[in-house]
Chain A
Amino acid sequence: MDPHYSEESINSFFINQIKDYAIFATDTKGIITAWNIGAERLKGYTEKEIVGQFYGILHPYEYQQAGVPEQELDIALEKGSYDVEAWRKRKDDSLFWATVTLTPIFSADGQHVGYTKITGDISKQKELQDKLAERQQGALEHKNKELQKINHDLDNFVYTASHDLRSPIANIEALTKLLKEELTESDCLSTETDEILQRVLTSISRFKSTIEDLTVVSRLQNDVSEGLTDEIINIKEVYEDIIADLGYPTELNVCFIQTDFKVYQLRFSKKNLRSILYNLISNAIKFQSPERDCIIKIHTQLEEPYVVLSVEDNGVGIDELHHEHLFTMFKRFHEHVEGTGIGLFMVKRIVENAGGKIEVESKKGIGTEFKIYFKEDM
């Protein structure tokens, strides 16, 4: 008998006395040929009972049916060894979480003669890990709830602030106008005081438009909580509606707009789709480059599981530095262009609230492409 393959070699004086790890040997087919005391303790079979049986008997029935024992032998032979943490079965059918190393054994002349397998019971370790994971999960859920509450409070705050600020600012505006009228009627308005009053009125109107934006944001949030109704929308109709609104072609005849609606219908809130498309198109027009004709390409296409709406322009482009702040409320990047910095924030909010996402690709001096991914669940 080959000394490497003999029962004596594995059941040597040393290995046999290891009690905490099951160590056994098989032939090339996985038939058990040797079995130490640790194996008997861990698995419940005596050496007499087990030797001559296929080692797959030590796997849970589900693994056996799935052919796992055979696969493990193949992998070990191919890779030189196989390590796994998985369930193993005792003689009494109870399961334990095991760490397993399966190693192919070769004779001195390089012939594959069998395998050795070392199995440890790490149920206790697993229990601790599970407990830890559970605790982390609990902490995470707690944190999530807290964040949701903070978010909700913040929305409420925006809502209340925008509504409560409207009344006094409208009041100040009315009073200032009255004051101006009174001063005019009593001939007390000088060039100097008139300029001051005019500046007060300009500030008031800026204040009002900021409040207006806040109201729009809070209304958006309300729409979400009240579940704005989705409907099947014809994208082209919405587009044509917006173009009519923007005064095409009389005022925008400097822009060439190409459309290709490969997906022409979408289940979404019509009002929100309009908001999104309106913002993207008006941005593309606003930020056109003075150096070339403005070309805007708008198209839709299916990219499972999304419907993608893309608006691409050849305008001034956005500096890479600003990309991450692009969707922040009240951020503006171009001093010379009118705006309050609410548009893209709203677009992102609408899209994300509906389970979609927005992506931007832009190079300064070349152009910008916004891609909206609508979750397609039709």
Chain B
Amino acid sequence: MVTKPEKWQQINVVLVVDDDDNWCFVSKKILQKAGVGKDIITANNGQQALEILQAFAAEGKKLPELIFLDIKMPLMDGFQFLEIATKSAELDLSRTKIFVCSSSFLSKDKDRAKQYPVAGFITKPLTLEILRDILPSD
């Protein structure tokens, strides 16, 4: 079964943030198969993700249109990342959709994430069906 790349609204860069390399790999594969994003970047924690975004901003590049963000990560977790990134003056996230990902959501985690401008919640693993649900196609 060959999945035909679907026509998504123009998405250039996708950032996957997860401390588990296997998750990054799976997400990247699924995004590639679905044809979402010309460039798929991965980061292993909030700190790395923040540095990537800051480097983009410093070079004047457009920030990723999509971010898949895990919650539980070492060094800087998903919440800390949201706190800093969404309140930073130098990062313009107005055209970035952030999806919070977890293999199981606790209601208190969801409530906490809802305090930030997030686009939604995804229960892992990421699938083509989920992508169809969350991304507007042409």
A217 CB → nearest B CB, Å: 14
Contact B103 A174 (CB under 8 A): no
Give how many B residues have a beta carbon under 8 Å from the other chain's beta carbons: 17
Contact B103 A166 (CB under 8 A): yes
Q: Is A171 an interface residue (CB 8 A)?
A: yes
Contact A174 B1 (CB under 8 A): no
Q: Which of B18-32 contact A (CB under 8 A)?
A: 20, 22-23, 25-26, 29-30
Q: Which of A141-193 contact B (CB under 8 A)?
A: 162-163, 166-167, 170-171, 173-175, 178, 181, 184-185
A163 CB → nearest B CB, Å: 5
Q: Which of A173, A178, A184 has the most CB of B within 10 A?
A: A178
Give how many A residues have a beta carbon under 8 Å from the other chain's beta carbons: 14
Q: Is A283 an interface residue (CB 8 A)?
A: no
Contact A171 B104 (CB under 8 A): no
Q: Is B5 an interface residue (CB 8 A)?
A: no
Q: Is A215 an interface residue (CB 8 A)?
A: yes
Given the complex, which residues of A lie within 8 Å of B126, measured CB to CB? 174
Q: Is B124 an interface residue (CB 8 A)?
A: yes
A220 CB → nearest B CB, Å: 14
In the bound assembly, the distance between CA atoms of A215 and B104 in angstroms comes to 9
Given the complex, which residues of B lie within 8 Å of A215, measured CB to CB? 104
Contact A170 B125 (CB under 8 A): yes
Q: Which of B3, B20, B25, B125 has the most CB of A within 10 A?
A: B125
Contact A174 B26 (CB under 8 A): yes
Contact A171 B26 (CB under 8 A): yes
Contact B104 A175 (CB under 8 A): no
Query: Which partner residue on chain B sits nearest A215 by CB separation?
Result: B104
Contact A171 B125 (CB under 8 A): yes
Number of A-B contacts (CB under 8 A): 38
Contact B26 A178 (CB under 8 A): yes
Contact A184 B22 (CB under 8 A): no
A49 CB → nearest B CB, Å: 77
Which of A166, A181, A184, A185 is the one whose CB lies under 8 Å from B104? A166
Given the complex, which residues of A lie within 8 Å of B20, measured CB to CB? 167, 171
In the bound assembly, the distance between CA atoms of A279 and B101 in angstroms comes to 32
Given the complex, which residues of B lie within 8 Å of A185, measured CB to CB? 1-2
Query: Which partner residue on chain A sits nearest B29 by CB separation?
Result: A178
Which of B1, B30, B103, B124 is the one whose CB lies under 8 Å from A184? B1
A169 CB → nearest B CB, Å: 8
Contact B23 A171 (CB under 8 A): yes
Given the complex, which residues of B lie within 8 Å of A184, measured CB to CB? 1
Given the complex, which residues of A lie within 8 Å of B26, measured CB to CB? 171, 174-175, 178
Contact A167 B1 (CB under 8 A): no
Which of B2, B22, B30, B33 is the one whose CB lies under 8 Å from A171? B22
In the bound assembly, the distance between CA atoms of A122 and B30 in angstroms comes to 85
Contact B2 A170 (CB under 8 A): no
Contact A170 B22 (CB under 8 A): no
Given the complex, which residues of B lie within 8 Å of A166, measured CB to CB? 103-104
Given the complex, which residues of A lie within 8 Å of B25, measured CB to CB? 175
Contact A167 B2 (CB under 8 A): no
Given the complex, which residues of A lie within 8 Å of B2, measured CB to CB? 185
A214 CB → nearest B CB, Å: 11
Given the complex, which residues of A lie within 8 Å of B125, measured CB to CB? 170-171, 173-174
Given the complex, which residues of B lie within 8 Å of A162, measured CB to CB? 104
Given the complex, which residues of B lie within 8 Å of A167, measured CB to CB? 20, 23, 103, 124
In the bound assembly, the distance between CA atoms of A296 and B26 in angstroms comes to 49
B104 CB → nearest A CB, Å: 5
Given the complex, which residues of A lie within 8 Å of B30, measured CB to CB? 174, 178
Q: Which of A163, A167, A185 has the most CB of B within 10 A?
A: A167
Binary interface profile of A, 215-227, with partner B (CB < 8 Å = 1, else 0)?
1000000000000
Given the complex, which residues of A lie within 8 Å of B23, measured CB to CB? 167, 171
In the bound assembly, the distance between CA atoms of A218 and B50 in angstroms comes to 34
Contact B29 A163 (CB under 8 A): no
Residues of A within 8 A of B (CB): 162-163, 166-167, 170-171, 173-175, 178, 181, 184-185, 215
List the 3 closest pairs (A to B, CB-CB), nearest first: A174-B125, A167-B103, A166-B103
